[in-house]
Chains A and B, each alone.
Chain A
Amino acid sequence: MQRYLIGFVIVCLGCLSATAQGQDNQPNHKQQDQIDALIKRINDLEDANKQHAEEIATLKATIAELSAGKKETPEDEALKAELEKALGGGQGQPSAPATGAPGQLKLIDVSYDILTTAGWSTADQTLLGQLQGGDHDPKDRGFNIRNLEFSLNGAVDPYFNAEMHTVFKLGPDGGTETEVEEAFLTTTSLPNSMEIKSGQYFTQFGRLNARHPHAWNFVDAPVITSRLLGGDGLRNPGVQLSYLTPFHWYSEFILGTQNAGGGTAASFLGSDGPAGTPTIDRQVRSLGDMLYTARWFNSWELSDEKTVNLGFSSAFGPNNTGPTNRTQLYGTDLYYKWKPRVNDHGFPFLAIQAEAMSRTFQAGGVTTSRQDLKDWGWYSEFNYGYQRNWVAGLRFDYADANGDNSADPLRARRWRVSPALTWYPSEFSRIRLQYNYDQSDFLGMPQHSIWLQYEVGFGAHPAHKF
């Protein structure tokens, strides 16, 4: 518009000067005044044009805002209540997007993550399978592809978000295994700081359980989590309600119920029968046969550069070693991170992460005598991002159990030390070298393993949980 206007004026000026030259080489005062007046007019028009453009932009924004729904005054609230009463409490109008770049409809964020590990161990295949308790851990000498994760997530409508994570992995026999690891919806618009999650999801128990392997700092799962929460982590279909309290620090309560069966509830109806206890085919008969979980999660800013998270978790449910046997899990998790405000792409930093957990498992009573099996343990990790894209890590693992457990790979006292060094070529790729020193009552000799892992994640930018 502006361009045409200027063009038009230039043409006019051209004509004018041509006429002026035709009449007289020296423009007289009258003509000079006319030219000045024209220049002034151009400037004024430009100003007006600019102002109009701004006004149009404002109007557009206002229209978009208006169509996006209004903030209510008390009268509006009263009217709304009346309307809700009359119309049976229907939902509000879904709001139209008011902002953002034009013509971009974002429906699904798609990403794919490849986790490949190569390595060697003094432990042979069978023993290595026992030492590497996590289902996505490297379990073979040589190459391991145990976690190919296909993730989708997006907003369903103004009320729900949905996520889906499907994992493919190659078994030792070369076959491909598939897991619907997670598929759930989350509410986005519940009042009173509530949020409901429903579907297949990782139980909020401790820090690591609800995180996918590509968000871990080591190539394998800690000993105690793989023993008590299972190699695949504790996850099942269910529903969970979380409430963010109005306390002045971040404090969240999460209560949930899930199915207690299947291999992803390894301490419950899906157990393999710890300490050689035989299992029975136990049916779900009452609400007491569901898994119930509770977590209290807190976070404090000690300073602008230091954050600490503290959580307490528990899970209660039936187990499959007797018709009335039950399992209780308790855990606590701590996370501390220091990162200076002046940092180069997130470096340097120091992160300390530790979890301790215990299990009481009522075992037997059918063909064997009834006993309470108690298992406990902890791990702690130190990760120091000493310069941009480089992290040095050290993890200690400890696990033990009551009773005569020294020959049982899943209950014997065991400790492990794992130093690791990780290099991130970019945010989307990493290469990790890790050494494991394993010692346990069931092992004759300490075992040594070394793993080189690479991870690439392509697709949508991952949203990192703190």
Chain B
Amino acid sequence: MKKMFVLAALGALCLPALASLKVVTTIPDLADIARQVGGNRVSVTNIASGLEDPHFIEAKPSYMLKMRNADLFIEVGMELEKAWSQPLMQGARNSAILPGGPGFLDASIGISKLEVPTGTVDRSMGDIHPYGNPHYWTDPYNGRIIAKAIRDRLIRLDSAGKSTYEANYGKFVEDLDGAMFGKVCAAAVGGDKLWSHYFAGDLDAWLAKGDHRYGGWLGMVKKVKGTKIVTYHRSWSYFARRFGFDVVEELEPKPGIQPSPGHVLDVIKIMKQDGAKIILMEPFYSRKPADLVAGKVNGTVVLAANSVGGQPAAKDYIAMIDNVVTKLVEAAK
């Protein structure tokens, strides 16, 4: 017993050297953005791996341990992590990261939310998120908003690092805009301008005047714009809106509810009727219903991770989106 305590004390001494700011994130996408923006001024620990469904993480004691000394806890919010982030926060014994204080960041704060239910909702509708669809990080524009929120919060907690955080944020956004619009185009006109014309709907015309042309993801999806797809869970709404895919149905009859034979039959009918050939799903869901439907409609199942680390190609945030875009465009050709 005594020996054990000595060992324990030694273990405590051997804790990793302290970085200036300790950040804990719930999903690896937030972790990657926090790492890129924070650079070497922060040490980032993440909880759910990209291989896992973020709805179904267990509040393991070891996660509480990760959070006990954290300076900043970042979550997706909108109740995505509701079942586990609350017990974790309570178990971490760290009042610095409780909601309301500067050590807690709900990354959804600046996001314009989709599918916010109106009127009364209840569980007969499945796993409804009352604050809207929480899978917003699959949209690169939201990646920018997340990065900005993280940048501002890091500056707030560590004002000495302001210039570093601003520079890192600038670099991250430059890379992201380069991936979205093509490096050459983004470098020539600047990401902010591109996004503003993109939102105004006159990007092609405006670029043509300066004899520029966009490439990147936007260039890739141009040819397949409006392609009808079916997804497993309603987790691709933000992605589909940004890249011009049309989600006609989900394999789940209601969010979080297992595909039933009756509903799968409906999906087959809808796909045949709409000419949809692609089923997009995360690798952690059961493939069986998707394969069955694909077989009936002569379609393709596209397995794509919507989180960093969910597939080998999704090694960071930008690569994660790139992986989905590439696979979908390939399947839609």
> A-side interface residues toward B, CB under 8 Å?
43, 46-47, 50-51, 54, 57-58, 61-62, 65, 68-71, 95-101, 104, 158, 161, 186, 188-191, 193-195, 244-252, 297, 299-301, 304, 307, 309, 339, 341-346, 388-389, 426-428, 458, 461-466
What string of 1s and 0s marks CB contacts (under 8 Å) between B85-99 and chain A? 011001001111011
Complex Cα gap A94–B325 (Å): 46
| Complex-state Cα separation, A464 to B57, whole angstroms | 10
A-B pairs, top 9 by smallest CB distance, nearest first, are A299-B61, A250-B61, A99-B106, A189-B95, A95-B100, A341-B51, A193-B93, A248-B11, A463-B87
B61/A97 in contact, CB under 8 A: no
- Whether B93 contacts A244 by the Cβ 8 Å rule is yes
CB atoms of B156 and A65 under 8 A apart: yes
Can you give 29 A-B contacts (C-beta < 8 A)? A43-B206, A47-B192, A58-B148, A61-B109, A65-B102, A69-B102, A71-B71, A98-B99, A98-B102, A101-B131, A186-B90, A189-B98, A244-B64, A244-B65, A244-B93, A248-B14, A251-B8, A304-B49, A307-B62, A342-B283, A342-B284, A345-B56, A388-B286, A458-B123, A462-B83, A463-B83, A463-B86, A464-B58, A465-B59
Smallest CB separation, A109 vs chain B (Å) = 9
Q: Which of B14, B62, B84 contacts A301 (CB 8 A)?
A: B62
Point out the residues of chain B lying under 8 angstroms from A101, CB to CB: 78, 131
Task: Decide if A58 touches B152 in the complex (CB within 8 Å).
Answer: yes
Which residues of chain B have C-beta atoms less than 8 A from A345's C-beta? 53, 55-56, 256
Q: Which residues of B are interface residues toward A (Cβ below 8 A)?
A: 8, 11-12, 14-15, 49, 51-53, 55-56, 58-62, 64-65, 68, 71, 77-78, 82-84, 86-87, 90, 93-96, 98-106, 109-110, 123, 127, 131, 148-149, 152-153, 156-157, 192-193, 196-197, 199-200, 202, 206, 256-258, 283-286
CB distance from A132 to the nearest CB of B (A): 30
Assuming the contacts A61-B149, A341-B49, asked whether A195 and B93 have C-beta atoms less than 8 A apart, the reply is: yes
Which residue on chain A has the smallest CB distance to residue B79? A461
Bound-state Cα–Cα, A197 to B209, Å: 68
Which partner residue on chain A sits nearest B56 by CB separation? Answer: A346
A65 to B103, CA, bound (A): 10
B59–A464 contact, CB under 8 A? Answer: yes
The residue of chain B having its C-beta at the shortest distance from the C-beta of A96 within the complex is: B100
Q: Which of B61, B78, B202 gathers the greatest number of chain A CB atoms within 10 Å?
A: B61
**Which residues of A are found within 8 Å of B193, using beta-carbon distances?**
47
Q: Verify B283–A188 contact, CB threshold 8 A.
A: no
CB A316 to nearest CB in B, in angstroms, measures 19
Q: Are B123 and A428 in contact (CB under 8 A)?
A: yes
* Further contacts, 17 of them, CB under 8 A, given A47-B196, A344-B53: A50-B196, A51-B192, A57-B110, A70-B102, A71-B96, A190-B95, A193-B94, A247-B12, A248-B12, A248-B15, A301-B60, A343-B52, A426-B256, A463-B84, A463-B86, A465-B59, A466-B60
B77 and A99: CB pair below 8 A?
yes
Q: Which residues of A contact B86 (CB under 8 A)?
A: 463
Assess whether B53 is in contact with A100, with CB atoms less than 8 Å apart.
no
User: A466 to B61, Cβ gap below 8 A?
Assistant: yes
Nearest opposing residue in chain B for A64, CB measure: B109
Residue from the list B8, B51, B87, B257 in contact with A465, Cβ < 8 A: B87
* B90 contacts A158, C-beta separation under 8 Å: no
Chain A residue at smallest Cβ distance from B60: A466
B94, B102, B283, B286: most-surrounded residue (chain A CB, <10 A): B102
The reply to whether A158 and B61 form a contact with Cβ atoms under 8 Å apart is no
> Does the CB pair B100–A158 fall under 8 Å?
yes
Give Cα A294 to B103, complex, Å.
Answer: 33
Q: Give A406 to B187 CA distance when docked, in angstroms.
A: 87
Instruction: Name the residue in A71, A307, A465 with the highest tally of chain B Cβ atoms < 10 Å from its Cβ.
Output: A71
Contact status B99-A97, CB under 8 Å: yes
Residues of B within 8 A of A309 (CB): 61
Contacts of B56 in A (CB 8 A): 343, 345-346
Residues of A within 8 A of B62 (CB): 249-250, 299-301, 307
Closest beta carbon of chain B to A424's beta carbon, Å: 10
Q: Whole-angstrom distance from the CB of B310 to the nearest CB of chain A? A: 9
Residue in A closest to B131 when the chains form the complex, CB atoms: A101
* In the complex, residue of chain B having the shortest beta-carbon distance to the beta carbon of A301: B62
Tell me which residues across on chain A come within 8 A of B53, comparing CB atoms: 343-346
Q: Which residues of A contact B284 (CB under 8 A)?
A: 342-344
Q: A206 to nearest B CB, angstroms? A: 16
Task: Judge whether A71 and B102 touch: CB under 8 Å.
Answer: yes
Contacts of B256 in A (CB 8 A): 345, 426-427
Chain B, residue nearest A159 (CB): B95
Query: Given the known A-B contacts A47-B192, A299-B61, A343-B52, are A98 and B8 also in contact in the complex, defined by CB atoms under 8 Å?
Result: no
Give the complex CA separation of A248 and B11 in angstroms: 6
Interchain CB contact under 8 A, B52 and A50: no
Residues of B within 8 A of A300 (CB): 62
Chain B residues whose C-beta falls within 8 Å of the C-beta of A186 in the assembled complex: 90
B257 nearest CB neighbor, chain A only: A426
Known: A47-B192, A307-B60, A461-B82. A249 touches B152 (CB 8 A): no
Q: Which residues does chain A contribute within 8 Å of B123, judged by CB atoms? A: 426, 428, 458
Alpha-carbon separation in the docked complex, A427 to B123 (Å): 11
Shortest A218–chain B CB gap in Å is: 20
The docked-state distance in angstroms from the alpha carbon of A194 to that of B93 is: 7
Chain B residues within an 8 Å CB radius of A245: 8, 12
Chain B residue with minimal CB distance to A298? B61
**B12/A99 in contact, CB under 8 A:** no
Minimal beta-carbon separation of A34 from chain B (angstroms): 16
Give the CA-CA distance A70 to B286 in the complex, in Å.
Answer: 46
Minimum CB distance partner of B66 in chain A: A250
A162 → B minimal CB distance (Å): 12
**What chain A residues lie within 8 Å of B149 (beta carbons)?**
61
Chain B residues, CB < 8 A from A191: 95
Q: What is the minimal beta-carbon distance from A193 to any residue of chain B, in angstroms?
A: 4
A464-B63 Cα distance, complex, nearest whole Å: 14
Give the CA-CA distance A69 to B71 in the complex, in Å: 14
B65 and A249 contact, CB distance less than 8 A = yes
CA distance A246 to B8 in the complex (A): 9
CA distance A195 to B64 in the complex (A): 14
Given A43-B196, A65-B156, A342-B52, residue A190 in contact with residue B105 (CB < 8 A): no
Shortest distance in angstroms between A45's beta carbon and chain B's nearest beta carbon?
10
Supposing A307-B62, A389-B258 touch, asked if A100 and B99 sit within 8 A by C-beta, the answer is yes
Is the beta-carbon distance between A43 and B283 smaller than 8 angstroms? no
CB atoms of A99 and B82 under 8 A apart: no
